[in-house]
Amino acid sequence: MSSVQEPIEAFFPYGKRMVVKKGGSIYNSNRADDNRYAFFLDSGCCALSSLTKEGDERTYLYFREKRTIGFVQLMPVLHERHSEPSSPFLITAKTDCVLYRVSQEMFMYLLQNNAEFGNYMLRVLSENYLDLLHRYHEAQDECATVRLCRLLLEYAEEINGQLVMPSYFTHVEFSHYLGTHVVTVSRIMAQLKQRGYIEKMGHKIILCAPKELRQLVETGMNFDF
């Protein structure tokens, strides 16, 4: 996942500051009040997901700091042309998050009267579209091993010279994003650990051989279980 670079701090005063703790709900499309607001994400990471009819969670996008999130329902034209989904869309905090909640009236005012904000939102929409397009392509054409390795490489953070996955990336979290069973994730991770590509330190995953992980992605290799 990439990140829109245009600074949005200038727009924070138009919203109300709020802190959502890890695991907390930021947006739920089934809550009527939530559909009257958008959010400027100052810090932290959150995820856009939905629930299947069976109650399973599916994650579509991760949002990191300095992004505008949860705004599509504020667009009257889009809202009129698309029916409500049978399952709610959710935005959940994966870490402690600091946000600024902005009303629909203020959001539309900025969109219609502030050229800088309008250009920024165009970039946000374009990036979200490309992220979802790439994710659809990966889900259709790539095996679970490749998609998991790609996710590891994309989200690992360099800490003290090591590439470390954020702690919220558990096997269950991987399965929600990849759309695979958690057992499949565990088997792939066991293979990667056996080959020395990753290791566990407490609850964190460390990437020991990013070059080899990239080769797995580039060759499209799949593990046999």
85: confidence class by pLDDT, cuts 50, 70, 90: low
Q: Are 60 and 48 in contact (CB under 8 A)?
A: yes
Asked if pLDDT for residue 107 goes beyond 70, the answer is yes
Mean pLDDT of the chain: 88
Nearest 5°: phi and psi at 169?
-85, 85
Q: Are 37 and 91 in contact (CB under 8 A)?
A: no
What pLDDT, in 10s, does the model give residues 92-102? 999 999 999 99
pLDDT at position 3? 45
Asked if pLDDT for residue 2 goes beyond 60, the answer is no
Paired strand residues for 53? none
Region 92-115: mean pLDDT is: 94
Asked if pLDDT for residue 86 goes beyond 90, the answer is no
Region 103-126: mean pLDDT is: 91
Nearest 5°: phi and psi at 91?
-120, 120
Residue 27 CB neighbours (<10 A): 24
- Rg (Cα) of the chain, in Å, rounded? 19
Give this prediction's pTM.
0.82
1: confidence class by pLDDT, cuts 50, 70, 90: very low
The continuous run of DSSP H or E covering 11 comes out as none
d(CA 33, CA 203) in angstroms, rounded, equals: 36
Which domains are seen in the chain, by residue range? 9-139 (2.60.120.10), 143-219 (2.60.120.10)
Dihedral sign, Cα of residue 90, residue 142, residue 181, residue 215: negative
**Regarding beta strands 45-51 and 157-159, do their DSSP bridges make them parallel or antiparallel, or are they unpaired?**
unpaired
Structure tokens belonging to residue 130: 């490309």
202: confidence class by pLDDT, cuts 50, 70, 90: confident
Asked if pLDDT for residue 146 goes beyond 80, the answer is yes
DSSP strands (E only) in 44-131: 45-51, 57-64, 67-69, 89-93, 97-103
Asked if pLDDT for residue 80 goes beyond 70, the answer is no
Q: What are the b/e assignments for 101-135, b being 16+ CB within 10 Å? A: bbebeebeebbeeeeebeebbeebeebbeebeeeb
Task: Look at 28 and 54; give whichever has higher pLDDT.
Answer: 28
pLDDT at position 5? 43
Region 140-153: mean pLDDT is: 92
- pLDDT over 90, % of the chain: 58
d(CA 69, CA 66) in angstroms, rounded, equals: 10
84: confidence class by pLDDT, cuts 50, 70, 90: low
Residue count (the chain): 225
Half-sphere exposure of 111 (CA within 13 A, CB side): 19
What pLDDT, in 10s, does the model give residues 3-14? 444 578 889 999
